[in-house]
Structure formats: C-alpha cells, structure tokens
Copies of this chain bind each other. A is one copy, B any other.
Amino acid sequence: MSEVNRVWRLRKRPAGEISDDVLSFEEESLPEPGEGEFLFRLNYLSLDPTNRIWMSDVAQYMPPVALHAHMRGVVCGTVVRSHHPDFAEGAIVSGVGVWADYQIGTPQAVSLMGDTGPFPVVDNFSTFAIVGPTAYFGLLDIGKPKAGETVVVSAAAGGVGSIAGQIAKIKGCRVVGITGSDEKCAWVRDELGFDAAINYRTEDVPSALAAACPAGIDLYFDNVGGEILDVCLKRMNLYGRIVSCGLISQLNATEPVPGPYNYPMIVMQRLRVEGFIILDFLHRYPEAIAALGQWIAEGKIQVRTQIVDGLENALQSLKKLYTGANTGKLIIRVEDV
C-alpha cells in the first residue's frame, strides 16, 4: 500500500466554465480510520453533472464542498484497513466519498456492493450507482409514463438519458431523444431503439420536435433545463409531466438564467413539473437494480460506459460533461477490481 495519497482539493468556486485552478491535485499522507471507520482504496470515480453544483456555493440539495476540502464524488473502492466488523479488508464498497486514492469510509456514506451477479464491478458501479436508478425512478415514479404516450428525453445520449429513454420504450412509449451530435443521434435511434432523435446543435429544435412529436409531448424527461425546456414546454399535452432531473445547460452560467418563457403552459395545459434527487430513493435501490439488471440481461437495455484511466485526469474529464463531449456514463478508473 502506498504511503502517499493523491487527492483533489477544491481551491476556488467555479465561475462559468470549470477552470483548471478550481481543483488542485496534491499528495498527502494517508488518513487513519477511527473507531467504526475503515480505509478504502479508490477503484472507480463517477463523474456527474452534479459535481459542478457541489463545487458551487449555490442553493442545492447537500452542503457544497467546503473550500480547500477534498472534492466530493460518488466512488467505488476496496477496503484496505478496517475498524468496522461489517467492512472487512477486501470488501468492495460504493457510495459518497472523495476524489482521493485512499479515503475513510463509514457505513453512513458507503455501503457494501455485495454480489454483483453477472456484472463486473465496473459495470455494476457505472450503471447502478447513479444513472440507472436515476433514470428508473425519475421516469417511472415521477414521470409515470403510459403506453402510447410520447416521451422526450434531453441529454439522451448521456448516462441517465440513454437509460430513461430505453425504459420508456420498454413501457410502450414513443421516445424522442435530443442530443448534441449526429453520432449520438444515430446511437440512440439505431442502437437503443428511440423512435426519433434530434441534434440540437444542427437542427431547428422547435420544428424538429414538432415533426418528431406529431401527437405532442406527454412526458418530458428534462436533464438540461434552459432553451430546450422552453421548446418542450410549448408542445406539452394536457396533463403532461416534466421530470426535472437536471439542468446541465445552465450549470456553467455566469449570469442569472431566466426560467422558461413558456412557464404559463404549466397552467394552460395543467402540467405537473416535479424535481427529484436520487438520494431520496436510496431505500428502493434494490428494486431498480433488479429491474434494470433483468432488462440488461434480456438485451432490452444497452448501457455504455466511457472509462478514463487515472485519477489525475478527473478534472479534465469532468469538464467534458458540460460540453457534451462524452456519450454514456463517464467514470474514472484508478485500478480495476
């Protein structure tokens, strides 16, 4: 075991696009687990749009990361020293941790991964730690799709969007994805089975959406906020639902971002707009993992993970999330397990 711990610390709050100096990559000594704690070594680090929120001192669903503290992340690792009877050396854990090779774990922050069945640990982590359950509960519990309805998913080639769209297909919906490249459009349409895909960078979204949704939109799974939300609002059907899952289009904004100009459609069409955070569904993870696992095994859901090697590349990789440079779920691999 190394005596040196590589860690990322938050050095300043981002303003606009994440700059290279918001985090610093440093070396320090290993932390020592206290009573009831354990030390684990990082195997995989999940990079997620919400990381940008955690860096910022804005209203959010958890306290922001303190300045100069270790950067927070969703992690998967292996226990290397333990003062807790349930977390033996060699056990695989995942949960909320920090961007560091070695870190202290507690039962409150991480849990045992347990039997991953047919899935390698990396797939289990990349699909089931965040994106799969987020898509599952967001679409089904919040969105409540019905067979025959039209579902639109933004950031459709992202980790959450690609799975949400596929679940909607399983539920018998017409599914339209909005993505940022022709390659992504082709992937969600030709590989994942979406009924249509729109490249928002090259197409006129209002007219493309009208063409792709001749019967209007019943459910919009919103990962992006901003202008795409506004366009979708305008085409919502009576009693439509908007699942507010994310706001990635506006996370890097430096000025206040206006809400949707078509907000009155919420009244006119009797819409329900509902936000959710996956943390609220932790107690129901087994349900989501069982369902998703079966769909994956049956070939009904395809998942794509984009793996970048090296903790040192975490910051540069994270930045790609906000420019749409990745497809599928993005994770950092430190050491395979």
Interface residue ranges, A against B (CB under 8 Å): 58-61, 225, 230, 234, 244-247, 250, 256-277, 280
Q: Are B277 and A270 in contact (CB under 8 A)?
A: yes
Q: Are A247 and B264 in contact (CB under 8 A)?
A: yes
Cα A262 to Cα B259 in complex, Å, equals 7
Q: Are A263 and B267 in contact (CB under 8 A)?
A: no
A259's partner among B58, B258, B271, B276 (CB-CB below 8 A) is B258
Cα A267 to Cα B229 in complex, Å, equals 14
30 contacts between A and B (CB under 8 A): A58-B264, A59-B262, A59-B264, A60-B268, A61-B269, A61-B270, A245-B267, A246-B267, A256-B261, A257-B261, A257-B263, A258-B261, A259-B259, A259-B260, A259-B262, A259-B263, A266-B273, A266-B275, A267-B275, A267-B276, A268-B275, A270-B274, A270-B275, A270-B277, A271-B273, A271-B274, A271-B275, A272-B273, A272-B275, A273-B273
Contacts of A268 on B, CB cut-off 8 Å? 59-61, 275, 277
A261's partner among B259, B265, B272, B273 (CB-CB below 8 A) is B259
Shortest A64–chain B CB gap in Å is 12
Q: Are A276 and B270 in contact (CB under 8 A)?
A: yes
Cα A225 to Cα B265 in complex, Å, equals 12
**Interface SS of chain A: helix, strand, loop or mixed?**
loop
Q: How many copies does the complex hold?
A: 2
Q: Which of A262, A266, A272, A280 neighbours the largest number of chain B CB atoms within 10 Å of its CB?
A: A266
Shortest A253–chain B CB gap in Å is 10
Q: Are B256 and A244 in contact (CB under 8 A)?
A: no
**A264 and B234 contact, Cβ closer than 8 Å, known pairs A270-B275, A273-B274, A275-B270:** no
Shortest A57–chain B CB gap in Å is 13
Cα A272 to Cα B262 in complex, Å, equals 17
Q: Are A264 and B280 in contact (CB under 8 A)?
A: no
Q: Are A244 and B259 in contact (CB under 8 A)?
A: no
Shortest A255–chain B CB gap in Å is 10
Contacts of A275 on B, CB cut-off 8 Å? 265-272
Chain B residue, CB-CB nearest to A265: B59
Shortest A262–chain B CB gap in Å is 8
Cα A81 to Cα B261 in complex, Å, equals 47
A277's partner among B250, B267, B280 (CB-CB below 8 A) is B267
Q: Are B270 and A225 in contact (CB under 8 A)?
A: no
Cα A333 to Cα B269 in complex, Å, equals 32
Contacts of A247 on B, CB cut-off 8 Å? 263-264, 267
Cα A219 to Cα B60 in complex, Å, equals 19
Chain B residue, CB-CB nearest to A258: B258
CB-CB nearest 8 A-B residue pairs = A259-B259, A258-B258, A259-B263, A267-B275, A266-B275, A259-B260, A273-B273, A272-B274
